[in-house]
Amino acid sequence: MLRTASRWLATLLLVSAGLVPGATRAFAQPLDADAQAAGRVVMQQLEAFRRDDFATAYTFASVNVRQMFDRAGFEQMVRGGYPEIAHSASATVDGSRRGDAGEIYLFIRVLGDNGRSIEAVYELVSEGGGWRINGVVTRPDASERA
């Protein structure tokens, strides 16, 4: 399932990049109540990362993520693979899309405290009455790729 989710996220990231003409408008939708709630989860996790509170940040991860990584492995993965997320200065939600199985994909722009900006697509799933982060893919912000 995670492999399928990763492919979905990669496809969405390519679409959001404008590599499929006209498709971005079809995917990036205004935020409904669920997307707003999911966005709060992402922002709370980013705030926990800013405090180096990986124990709290880990609580926002889905069951799938927690099955793949224990808390220490989660911290290592985030610090090593996502430095701008591990230490962000700011973040904004640029849009959302609902997946076929009810998951929410959020398009988020993150400015790392290292001065680099990235574009991220977060996949959130409903678990236990709330939203949990099930995966993320990133790439350099379009303005930095030029």
User: pLDDT exceeding 70 applies to what percent of the chain?
Assistant: 77
The predicted-structure confidence for 17-43, as pLDDT tens digits, reads as follows 443 333 343 445 568 999 999 999 999
* Cβ-based neighbours of 112, under 8 Å, separated by 6 or more: 83, 84, 85, 87, 88, 89, 118
Q: Angle at CA 16, nearest 5°, toward 97 and 77?
A: 85
- Which is more confident, 1 or 72? 72
Edge-to-edge order in the sheet of strand 130-140:
88-98, 104-112, 117-127, 130-140
DSSP 58-121: HTTB-HHHHHH--HHHHHHHHHHH-HHHHTEEEEEEEEEEE-TTS-EEEEEEEEETTS-EEEEE
Assign 51 to helix, strand or coil.
coil
pTM: 0.80
How far apart, in whole angstroms, are the C-alpha atoms of residue 26 and residue 89?
30
For domain 2-16+29-145, which CATH number applies: 3.10.450.630, 3.40.350.10, 3.40.50.150, 1.10.1610.10?
A: 3.10.450.630
Assign 22 to helix, strand or coil.
coil
Give residue 2's pLDDT: 46
- Which is more confident, 27 or 97? 97
From residue 12, how far is each of 69, 104, 106 by CA, in Å? 24, 12, 10
Query: Of the given ranges (54-58, 68-72, 118-122, 142-146), which has the lowest mean pLDDT?
Result: 142-146
Structural domain spans, the chain: 2-16+29-145
How far apart, in whole angstroms, are the C-alpha atoms of residue 21 and residue 25?
9
